[in-house]
Structure 1
Amino acid sequence: MALEREEHWIPAEGRIGLHAWVLRHAELTAPAPAITVAHGFRGLAEGGLMHYAERFAEAGFVAIIHDHRSFGLSGGWPRHDIDPWRQILDWRRVITYLQELPGVDPDRIGLFGSSYAGGHALVLAGSDPRIKAVVAQVPTISGYEQGKRRNPGAEATQALQDRFNADERAQLRGADPDRQLLVTTDPDVPSVYKDPALIAYEDRFPLGDLGRFDRKITLRSTLKAQMYDPGVWIDRIAPTPLLMIVATNDTMTPTDMALAAYERAGEPKELITYEGGHFDAYVEHFAATGGGATDWFTRHLVPAAAG
């Protein structure tokens, strides 16, 4: 059966529209369970997660995947500014919009978040009872702890805080937020990450049109990330079924943090691990990660499978 791909703009706070794609089989007749998908720190729907949404739709779900505000075609200013709590509230709006779509069963909503949005998935599953099943893939657990590992030592920590403070003072005087590269391996150029695996991932999923996307984000996005600890929500998720997908050698969202968080989660829960790093989930191990997520949603959102 062929998939239909519908373009949507979802009204969000601040009088902006969140750009989204809805995927479903044209032949669907009865209201179907639905899955809402969101990407990580600075990705786009058309990057590494679109094939997850396609896989869910091929399995008979209605799938919706959106770009966070200030990214892609979604509205919002300043561009490429990442506020985790704003993204979570926007995602709640997407869930509401999804429940209102024709052909969707509003009582069977699943949620899939990867990387930074994997942390968002933990928060939403622990706070929004409309979510009936959740998958958190390579999730952020503690932005504070991750930041310490990326910038070890008092000197590096103080230098970063000095940059945050200078940016804050400049904004007080009316300047736009400062910006920095997301990733570079040049030690003399400030960036969020120095990980060549992230560069390889971006080369694998080129996002084109620099009018919609560039490689810089606001500096204050890093400040907000260091204040974000979604792992504290994990013990509030049960009895919503939780699947976590974790890489065995993840230095971006460290493996040990994810496994420790999983141990704190209540039942029902399940863990899938794969051999490799953070970005291997999207390509090399897509059969395991995408297939495992699809099976999880089928088991918990499709009555015949659940029975």
Structure 2
Amino acid sequence: MALERTEHWIPAEGGIGLHAWVLRRTDLTRPAAAVTLAHGFGGLAEGGLMHYAELFAEAGFVSIIHDHRSFGGSGGWPRQDIDPWRQVLDWRRVITYLQDLPGVDPDRIGLFGSSYAGGHALVLAGSDPRIKAVVAQVPTISGYEQGKRRNPSPETTKRLQDRFNADERAQLRGAEPARQVLNSTDPDVTSVYKDPAMDAYEKRFPVPELARFDRKVTIRSTLKAQMYDPGVWIDRIAPTPLLMIIGDEDTITPSDIALAAYERAGEPKKLITYQGDHFGAYDDRFDQAGGGARDWFIQHLSPASDN
């Protein structure tokens, strides 16, 4: 079956456009259920989630996947600045846009968030009744827990706090927000992550937008991440059906935190665990994770597979 892929810019607050791709089967003849997807911290639509969007579209859904504000083709300044609550509100705008698209059944909208956006998915599913089914894959649950309490040492925590404070003072004087590398395994390079698996992920899913993305994000993005605890929304999601997908060796969004959050969720819910790290869901465990997510949406949204 053939897929149609069209490029969209969604008007968002501040006069910017959110860049998005819409994918759908060319043989659909009546309004179909739809799934909206979003990436994690520093992710891009053309990265590892595009094959999820394709998978859902092949199953009969209309898929829309967008770049977060200040990333990829989306507008917004300063570039590569990550504000979780701004991203949540932007995602609401994407949902509204999706509901108005020709060929979409506005009453059958599913939500798929991965990593940082997995946390956003919990917030939206717990607060927006337009969402009829949700998948939170390797989700952020507690920025405080994973970003501060599990920090390797008090000295590291203090150095990071000193950088937050210096950046805040500089901005008060009119400076641009300071930046740091997204990922580096070099102990002498200050970065958000120090995970060789992330380097492998980016080599596996190269995207054209990376030419415009120097792999640096604002330091204040890390500060905001430490203040973001989307897991508090998880017991507010029911009766919206919730699927969580968790890697049993995940250290980016730690497995034990995610499993504890899942226990707090109400029914209907389902858990898929795969053997591997945070990035396994995008790569060698894609069939398990993606197939499980597709089947969850089929079960709860009934795609237009009989068109």
Partner of 2:11: 11
Q: Report how far residue 304 of structure 1 moved.
A: 9.5
Q: Report how far residue 163 of structure 1 moved.
A: 0.3
What secondary structure sits across from 2:74 in the alignment? coil
Aligned equivalents of 2:130 and 2:120: distance in 1?
15
Partner of 1:126: 126
Query: In 2, are the aligned partners of 1:242 and 1:269 still within 8 Å (CA)?
Result: yes
Aligned equivalents of 1:164 and 1:192: distance in 2?
13
One-letter code aligned to 1:104: V
Q: Report how far residue 209 of structure 1 moved.
A: 4.8
Aligned equivalents of 2:102 and 2:267: distance in 1?
32
Partner of 1:267: 267
What secondary structure sits across from 1:105 in the alignment? strand
Deviations 1:141-180 (CA, angstroms, capped at 9, x unpaired): 0011111255333221111111000000000111000000
Where does the alignment leave 5 or more consecutive residues of structure 2 unmatched? none
Partner of 1:182: 182
Bigger relative contact order, structure 1 or 2 (CA pairs below 8 A, ≥6 apart): 2
Amino-acid identity (%): 81
Aligned equivalents of 2:166 and 2:57: distance in 1?
47
Deviations 1:188-219 (CA, angstroms, capped at 9, x unpaired): 11111111111111111123455532210000
Partner of 1:255: 255
Aligned equivalents of 2:78 and 2:30: distance in 1?
41
Aligned equivalents of 1:303 and 1:203: distance in 2?
33
What secondary structure sits across from 1:20 in the alignment? strand
Tell me, yes or no, if structure 1 residue 192 matches structure 2 residue 192.
yes
Deviations 1:274-295 (CA, angstroms, capped at 9, x unpaired): 0010001111011111100000
Partner of 2:49: 49
What secondary structure sits across from 1:217 in the alignment? strand
TM-score, normalised to structure 2, is 0.97
Where does the alignment leave 5 or more consecutive residues of structure 1 unmatched? none
Partner of 2:241: 241
Query: In 2, are the aligned partners of 1:71 and 1:212 still within 8 Å (CA)?
Result: no
CA RMSD of aligned residues (A): 1.3
Aligned equivalents of 1:101 and 1:73: distance in 2?
20
TM-score, normalised to structure 1, is 0.97
Distance 1:297 1:151, change over 3 A: same
Aligned equivalents of 1:97 and 1:248: distance in 2?
36
Query: In 1, are the aligned partners of 2:73 and 2:209 still within 8 Å (CA)?
Result: no
Aligned equivalents of 2:4 and 2:214: distance in 1?
29
Deviations 1:228-268 (CA, angstroms, capped at 9, x unpaired): 00000000000000000000110000000000000000000
Partner of 1:84: 84
Aligned equivalents of 1:22 and 1:103: distance in 2?
11
What secondary structure sits across from 1:273 in the alignment? strand
| Paired residue total | 305
Query: In 1, are the aligned partners of 2:72 and 2:209 still within 8 Å (CA)?
Result: no
What secondary structure sits across from 1:7 in the alignment? strand
Partner of 1:166: 166
Aligned equivalents of 1:287 and 1:296: distance in 2?
14
Question: Structure 1 runs of 4+ off > 6 angstroms?
Answer: none
Q: Report how far residue 41 of structure 1 moved.
A: 0.3
Aligned equivalents of 1:38 and 1:303: distance in 2?
20
Aligned equivalents of 1:142 and 1:291: distance in 2?
27
Query: In 2, are the aligned partners of 1:207 and 1:213 still within 8 Å (CA)?
Result: no
Aligned equivalents of 1:212 and 1:304: distance in 2?
37
Deviations 1:98-150 (CA, angstroms, capped at 9, x unpaired): 00000000000000000000000000000000000000000000011111255
Distance 1:230 1:292, change over 3 A: same
